[in-house]
């Protein structure tokens, strides 16, 4: 269990919410973790359970079915989910997609989608990455061309979280390929629209329970009223949402690292070698002490970042630096935690193996850590 006694980003209401999240996960998530990993997808029953527990999109305004809470409540969910060792895509829906629709959507779009997103009846994805385009969103090739009062969308996307489950996809497309970034728009596509097809559920190194897909758009026709916000403002919207997205990744990365550390402490105290617990060797104690120090510093930084973000003050450069540091740290901690398990750490029956596998992609998604350094350098 995460020790939150010394945390500064949360109050008593957040603590009560955390307890309800833990109880719900103990009941609905933990018993099914291995099954979700094996099946490569989290079933819709879990999404519905999260919705009923008020754990989907808690920041959404009450008039759209949400709780109207601050982002610190999202952070609580992010931490507990990652600490449990789950890669369920509910954080994408709550921390990223919900804000796009609430901040930029029309009243009609908000009423159409947000209540279902809060209840778990509508699962969402955001389709940015393409086979030939990763962190460089200006290079997307998917097009949404006007045809009367409709857009006709053609293109393909890949590595899309929630791709198999999604009922709604925010598609990053070029409505005017001649304008570069100024020609990018966000288009809402319902999964039952003709011409929309899901590819395979991709076979990943880690995060096996997060369905991640290829998506195809072949002459997909949607009304122009499905444009999210203003046409041509898509790139601006994407950049505006980066602080929260990258903070969310940082939070999950750190909580997962904490779990890996806790697993290593438990294992080394129980495992005997040369007549004593592995924990008693100086190398073990020094390694754990170093890990503990990194985690302590990281939690303090996260509390600072969460409070700044809730106050509307966290910058893109600060969030990018956080994403780079916390995910790099996650990689170090998970690797050392596995090492301290010895051969057992390489066995999938131990949670540390899953944490180690899942950690690798956090330095890639949400913008690679190399891009994070580039973003930070521009602020110097």
Cβ(340)–Cβ(264) below 8 Å: yes
Are 37 and 209 in contact, with CB atoms under 8 Å apart? Answer: yes
In this structure, what DSSP letter does residue 64 have? G
Question: Whole-angstrom Cα distance, residue 262 to residue 280?
Answer: 16
**∠306-307-309 over CA atoms, to 5°?**
65
Provide the annotated active-site residues.
Answer: 245
- CA–CA distance, 140 with 374 (Å, rounded to integer): 20
The Cα–Cα gap between 101 and 103 comes to: 6
CA 376 – CA 146 distance, rounded (Å): 37
* Spatial separation of the C-alpha atoms in residues 334 and 170, rounded to whole Å: 33
3-state secondary structure of 17: helix
Beta strands in the chain (DSSP E): 124-127, 143-147, 150-161, 168-174, 184-190, 196-201, 212-223, 272-273, 276-277
């Amino acid at each position: 269990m995460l020790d939150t006694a010394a945390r500064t980003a949360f109050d008593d209401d957040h603590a009560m919410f955390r307890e309800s999240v833990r109880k719900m996960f103990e009941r609905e998530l933990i018993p099914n973790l291995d099954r979700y990993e094996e099946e490569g997808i989290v079933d819709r029953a879990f999404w519905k359970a999260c919705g009923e527990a008020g754990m989907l999109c808690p920041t959404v305004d009450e008039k759209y079915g949400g709780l109207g809470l601050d982002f610190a409540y999202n952070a609580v969910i992010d931490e507990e989910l990652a600490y449990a060792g789950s890669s369920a895509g509910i954080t994408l829906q709550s921390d990223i997609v919900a804000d796009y629709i609430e901040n930029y959507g029309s009243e009609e779009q908000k009423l159409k989608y947000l209540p279902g997103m809060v209840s778990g009846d509508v699962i969402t994805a955001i389709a940015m990455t393409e086979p030939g385009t990763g962190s460089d969103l200006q290079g997307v090739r998917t097009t949404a061309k006007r045809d009367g009062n409709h857009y006709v969308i053609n293109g393909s996307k890949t590595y899309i979280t929630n791709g198999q489950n999604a009922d709604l996809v925010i598609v990053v497309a070029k409505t005017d390929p001649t304008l570069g970034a100024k020609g990018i728009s966000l288009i809402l596509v319902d999964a039952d629209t003709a011409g929309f097809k899901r590819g395979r559920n991709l076979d990943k190194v880690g995060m096996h329970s997060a369905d991640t897909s290829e998506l195809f758009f072949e002459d997909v026709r949607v009304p122009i009223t499905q444009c999210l916000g203003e046409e041509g403002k898509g790139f601006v919207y994407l950049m505006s949402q980066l602080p929260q997205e990258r903070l969310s990744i940082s939070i999950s990365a750190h909580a997962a690292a904490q779990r890996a550390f806790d697993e290593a402490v438990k294992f080394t105290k129980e495992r005997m070698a040369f007549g004593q617990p592995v924990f008693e060797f100086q190398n073990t104690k020094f390694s754990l002490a170093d890990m503990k120090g990194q985690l302590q510093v990281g939690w303090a930084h996260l509390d600072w970042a969460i409070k700044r973000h809730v106050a509307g003050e966290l910058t893109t450069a600060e969030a990018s630096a956080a994403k780079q540091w916390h995910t790099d740290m996650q990689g170090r901690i998970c690797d050392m935690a596995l090492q301290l398990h010895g051969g057992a750490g390489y066995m999938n029956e131990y949670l540390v193996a899953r944490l180690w596998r899942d950690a690798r992609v956090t330095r890639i998604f949400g913008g690679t850590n190399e891009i994070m350094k580039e973003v930070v350098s521009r602020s110097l």
